[in-house]
Structure 1
């Protein structure tokens, strides 16, 4: 039996593999996790968030966890039946597979190990099925006892033969272990690189750095210096992306400022902080403007750093507060940095919801921020409503209109080429043959 992609991803969510971090991936992974948890619900599986208080034994039994022997007595026959159905040509749906896996949710570490042992010892299961079930349980075990999960990976090397899958399991467990005891996780990694050469790769180092950063950013940086990843910038981005709350961001920024003092080149020091602040803004997720503003005030950023933070903002993390963020830019960024940052945000906003962007523009206060917003809005909305774009361009001062007119012409819908040519002629725009 081969699990479908949807179910494989679901397995990763259940096992906490969403904690794996790579450069510029964490925000997207969080969004994917939310979608996959919803998908799990449609398949009848309730996912227990890994950071919540574990269920009691009674709650686990009420939720269907039961004793390991009872689970094993149901799991193995059902797995064999599914294999036979697949061999006969019947398609195995996501729901069928999810119902099989549902029995494993809620088992504690000891119960999982008992079920894994039973699966290993059953000669009636194919190696592929035993490997799949073992992989699921290793991922679940990693949430509760990552050291035990890693030991099981080593003991099950014959069943977990696929290097890519095995690596994901180890990374998941190492990330979780690093949150609890990063030095122990690092020691395990170093002790097993000969058996598993993939552990020497940067991705493994970054998983340990990210896990440590969840509780101690300074220790994470110390480990980074000690492990010497090839891609230091990715490791730092991984560290920055753990700053998911104001408190965590402050701890990360303090650790980075301390680390920056060890760098010999002033430009390198400035670039480190600038890039990190941009990544912090890019990683914002479901955090309201008021909370971020409070953090920014307490962070004592200088004007250049404030602009770098603003450069990381996008419509996908400002959403319904985008207009308020533009107002914040107008009042907090150096004059020379307003236009570029507003341009980035308004362009994305207009592409996603040009009606809302237009409503904000209609009520925005006059000034450099609004002027920059009008230019970008007009050039972007021209793809949908060129006449609306022209009306907005006409609100600009005469000496600032022409460039916007040319942008409108460039984005004019191709289906209305006659109107585009007439517009170009009326405004002195030189038209060159394509």
Structure 2
């Protein structure tokens, strides 16, 4: 494993802490912090969480201890990076002990405050005997630790690092992610302040405040003011407006946020020229909102979908397929029934078959149990066909039994044909069984 890849493990781990991948770990860290704050308050120490660096007057000795701790962490961090470079030369992945040390370093760096991280970055920047690529990774990792709780401090360090004469932090990959994350977090709390920063620095440092950074800021602003976020797509001159639009829509996670975003989206679309480009943008944005609603679960999701004012055609996107991985497994049967009742005639066919196929592949017993008691109708017929075709690869006799519950006609004939095509032919006996089935049912 290359050193840069090993260091990327740290970045992925810190991403989890920042809520990019694992909100549970972040909640645990914050719960511990809140507990410490409460204990401090009980001891007569007041902590202002909005200004943590100004809230406690530390003594000179305490300040010196914190600085020493930061320098010690930096020294060990740099030494560990050198080990990663040695692993690169030898080839092969890091062993279990090294992976544990990666997590130990993660925990230690996370324990540093903003002032200590600045010291660590200064030490890393001055280190003489590490590769520039490694230096960039270490600095980027350190800045990423600040992005969630101290976005302004992270932005300051990004600017300092990117304009450093030695060019120790190139704004690609990790640097761009840190910039986007910092602006998104800041804009979520104070969109106008983040916007002012982008306006002020965008012209001076266009390579730093690029479209990726602007999209981050817009996605953060969308959580509080989606109308402003849509307006900023044009105002900030983003080259790819559709990607920015996607980031706004994806930020709407709760029913209230989706409602506000849908209203703002319709107003924004009305300002765009008519044509294929607008239609494609509208379809993609609506689909994203539908998917986020489906993720909420059946009860909450359908309640919002039915009250949001979607047209039958817009809701019909759920029937186009591709929604199975957004639904909770226990809700699949209810979604199938809802699609059969709610979506335009013929529209849910692909979606229902897609759902049943994936459900059957993941849990054929649960799918079969639901199917046995599902109400009669078009949705059940589509489900039976998809279920039979899916299980025919490993239980063709069971598939035939299900196919025989279908009414006579073209759909049943096509299902029997597909069962024959899928019939396992692992040995002479199974081959003979397939041919006997073909002859019995008159399959050509």
Equivalence for 1:321: 331
TM-score, normalised with respect to structure 1: 0.80
Equivalence for 2:115: 110
Equivalence for 1:78: 76
Larger displacement relative to structure 2 (358-367 or 223-232): 223-232
Contact 2:125–2:135 under 8 Å retained in 1: yes
Contact 2:202–2:208 under 8 Å retained in 1: no
Q: 2:442 aligns with which of 397, 406, 428?
A: 428
Equivalence for 2:401: 391
Larger displacement relative to structure 2 (316-325 or 72-81): 72-81
Equivalence for 2:311: 302
Residue correspondence of structure 1 range 237-252 to structure 2 within 5 A: 237-252=246-261
Q: Distance in 1 between matches of 2:258 and 2:292?
A: 10
Q: CA deviation at 1:274?
A: 4.2
Contact 1:364–1:370 under 8 Å retained in 2: yes
Deviations 1:120-140 (A, max 9, x none): 456687766654432222111
Q: 1:233 aligns with which of 235, 242, 245?
A: 242
1:9 counterpart = 2:12: yes
Residue correspondence of structure 1 range 210-289 to structure 2 within 5 A: 210-265=219-274, 272-284=281-293, 286-289=295-298
Contact 1:244–1:283 under 8 Å retained in 2: yes
Contact 1:179–1:215 under 8 Å retained in 2: yes
Which of structures 1 and 2 has the bigger CA Rg? Answer: 2
Q: CA deviation at 1:11?
A: 2.5
Contact 1:142–1:149 under 8 Å retained in 2: yes
Contact 1:281–1:312 under 8 Å retained in 2: no
Equivalence for 2:360: 350
Residue correspondence of structure 1 range 91-106 to structure 2 within 5 A: 93-106=98-111
Equivalence for 2:148: 143
Structure 2 gaps of 5+ residues are: 41-61
- Closer, same or farther: CA 134–349 of 1 in aligned 2, 3 Å: same
Q: Distance in 2 between matches of 1:265 and 1:80?
A: 56
Contact 2:71–2:119 under 8 Å retained in 1: no
Q: Distance in 1 between matches of 2:330 and 2:17?
A: 31
TM-score, normalised with respect to structure 2: 0.78
Q: Distance in 1 between matches of 2:367 and 2:223?
A: 36
Contact 1:72–1:115 under 8 Å retained in 2: yes
Contact 1:274–1:309 under 8 Å retained in 2: no
SS of equivalent to 1:96:
helix
Q: CA deviation at 1:276?
A: 2.7
Q: Distance in 1 between matches of 2:81 and 2:318?
A: 53
Structure 1 gaps of 5+ residues are: 19-32, 39-45
SS of equivalent to 1:397:
coil
Q: CA deviation at 1:324?
A: 0.9
Equivalence for 1:134: 139
Q: CA deviation at 1:195?
A: 4.5
Q: Distance in 1 between matches of 2:106 and 2:161?
A: 19
Q: CA deviation at 1:7?
A: 2.7
Q: Distance in 1 between matches of 2:224 and 2:304?
A: 19
Larger displacement relative to structure 2 (300-309 or 394-403): 300-309
Contact 2:229–2:248 under 8 Å retained in 1: yes
Larger displacement relative to structure 2 (214-223 or 114-123): 114-123
Residue correspondence of structure 1 range 157-196 to structure 2 within 5 A: 157=162, 158-161=167-170, 163-189=172-198, 191-192=201-202, 195=205
Q: 1:404 aligns with which of 407, 415, 419?
A: 415
Equivalence for 2:54: none
By relative contact order (CA 8 Å, sep 6+), the higher-ranking structure is 1
Q: CA deviation at 1:239?
A: 1.9
